[in-house]
């Protein structure tokens, strides 16, 4: 019950800060719009914002049994523990590098794929390929990891057999510190590119065909059509997804790393998530895990806010 009370206070609060009368009039004339939103707002308040006070356990020595009110306050101790860990710099660097590579190579992947699919005229072919490319999304990393180990094996893997035919020495991809991140990024693209393309396909479906017809009349070739019509039409989706992606810049995908890394590549493969897993599994370290999550979220929030501002300056919508 208290949750609902907070919800009401929350909404009232929002609309009563500024000049009262104008605001009130606006709300009165658009009351139905606000009413439509109400279930959604209640949902966010109850299931997202009420539990959020739980984040204070980052500053406590949280004891499940005693709860948040009974647990002891420890200030920044958990943050200190994280920053003072001798490996922290290395772990942070790895996380950032893998994330940036994934962003750099992985983010454009679905856009390119969607455009490529969009250029296919044969509907059967288009639909079949669309259906095929999203299949790996449904397989877990445990399965794909097992397959990758076999495919990349220096003695029996097909990749190294191909390299051998080209006269290249077998490469030990998964234990080589030089290759490990490449494998992580490439296999992530392989798994998720088709799935990621779906949003863009939806956006492409919304483009008015008349635009293309007009362009063809003007003598624009395919390439020009892509540059001048397709890409600009996708731009707002691209910006939105990019912003949302930035918010999770320090999440690199625990399961994938965990399945693929091994003691020879800890140097380049140990990331924040594997670190938290290691520390967290030892005990139910809720406070520590929360502190790390808070840290990641703050970094994400700063990035999103900055880029959102930048995007707005460049004439894009931004998220808020």
Residues 12-31 that bind other proteins (CB under 8 A): 14-15, 23, 26-27, 30
For 75, list phi and psi in degrees, rounded to 5: 65, -130
Residues 182-221 as x/- pattern, contact with other proteins by CB under 8 A: --------x--xx---xx-xxxxxxxxxx-----x----x
Task: Give yes or no for residue 176 binding other proteins (CB under 8 A).
Answer: no
Stretch that binds other proteins, among 49-57, 100-108, 161-169 (CB under 8 A): 49-57
Minimum CB separation from other proteins for residue 101, in Å?
A: 20
Using the rule CB under 8 A, is 69 a contact of other proteins?
no
Question: What is the closest distance, in whole angstroms, from the C-beta atom of residue 97 to other proteins in the complex?
Answer: 19
Please, what is the minimum distance in Å from the beta carbon of residue 209 to other proteins?
Answer: 5
Interface residues for other proteins in 285-304 (CB under 8 A)?
286, 289-290, 293-294, 297, 300-301, 304
Q: Mark the segment that binds other proteins (CB under 8 A) among 98-106, 115-123, 159-167.
A: 115-123
Contact 191, 144 (CB under 8 A): yes
Q: Of the candidates 292, 262, 266, which has an alpha carbon nearest to the alpha carbon of residue 83?
A: 292
Rg (CA), the chain: 25
Q: Does 97 bind other proteins (CB under 8 A)?
A: no
Contact in structure between 210 and 167 (CB atoms under 8 Å): no
Question: By the 8 A CB rule, do 160 and 170 touch?
Answer: yes
Q: Which positions from 219 through 248 interact with other proteins, judged by CB under 8 A?
A: 221-223, 236-237, 240-241, 244, 247-248
CA distance 33 to 74: 45
Q: How far is CA 235 from the centre of its chain?
A: 18
Residue 8 CB, nearest distance to other proteins (Å)?
A: 15
Q: Is 47 in the site for other proteins (CB under 8 A)?
A: yes
Task: Please report whether residue 252 would count as binding other proteins according to CB under 8 A.
Answer: no
Give pairs for 279-287: CB < 8 Å, separation 24+.
284/64, 286/57, 286/62, 286/64, 287/57, 287/58, 287/59, 287/60, 287/61, 287/62, 287/74, 287/78
């Amino acid at each position: 019950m208290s949750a609902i009370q907070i919800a009401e206070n929350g909404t009232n609060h929002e609309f009563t800060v500024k000049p009262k009368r104008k605001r009130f009039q606006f709300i009165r004339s658009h009351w139905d719009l606000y009413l439509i939103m109400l279930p959604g707002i209640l949902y966010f308040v109850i299931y997202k914002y009420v539990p959020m006070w739980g984040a204070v356990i980052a500053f406590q020595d949280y004891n499940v049994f005693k709860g948040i009110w009974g647990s002891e306050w420890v200030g920044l101790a958990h943050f200190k523990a994280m920053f003072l860990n001798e490996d922290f710099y290395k772990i942070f660097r790895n996380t950032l590098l893998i994330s940036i590579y994934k962003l750099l190579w992985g983010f454009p992947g679905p856009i390119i794929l969607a455009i490529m699919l969009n250029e296919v005229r044969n509907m059967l072919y288009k639909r079949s390929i669309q259906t095929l490319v999203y299949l790996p999304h449904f397989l877990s990393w445990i399965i794909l990891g097992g397959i990758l180990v076999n495919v990349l094996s220096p003695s029996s893997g097909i990749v190294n057999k191909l390299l051998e035919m080209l006269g290249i020495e077998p490469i030990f991809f998964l234990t080589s510190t030089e290759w490990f991140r490449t494998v992580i990024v490439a296999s992530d693209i392989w798994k998720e590119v088709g799935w990621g393309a779906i949003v863009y396909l939806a956006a492409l479906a919304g483009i008015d065909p008349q635009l293309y017809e007009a362009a063809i009349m003007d003598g624009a070739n395919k390439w020009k059509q892509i540059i001048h019509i397709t890409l600009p039409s996708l731009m707002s989706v691209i910006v939105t997804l990019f912003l949302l992606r930035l918010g999770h810049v320090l999440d690199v995908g625990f399961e994938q790393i965990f399945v693929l890394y091994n003691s020879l590549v800890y140097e380049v493969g140990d990331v924040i998530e594997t670190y938290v897993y290691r520390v967290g599994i030892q005990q139910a370290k809720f406070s520590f895990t929360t502190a790390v999550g808070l840290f990641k979220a703050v970094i994400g929030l700063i990035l999103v806010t900055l880029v959102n501002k930048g995007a707005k300056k460049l004439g894009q919508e931004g998220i808020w």
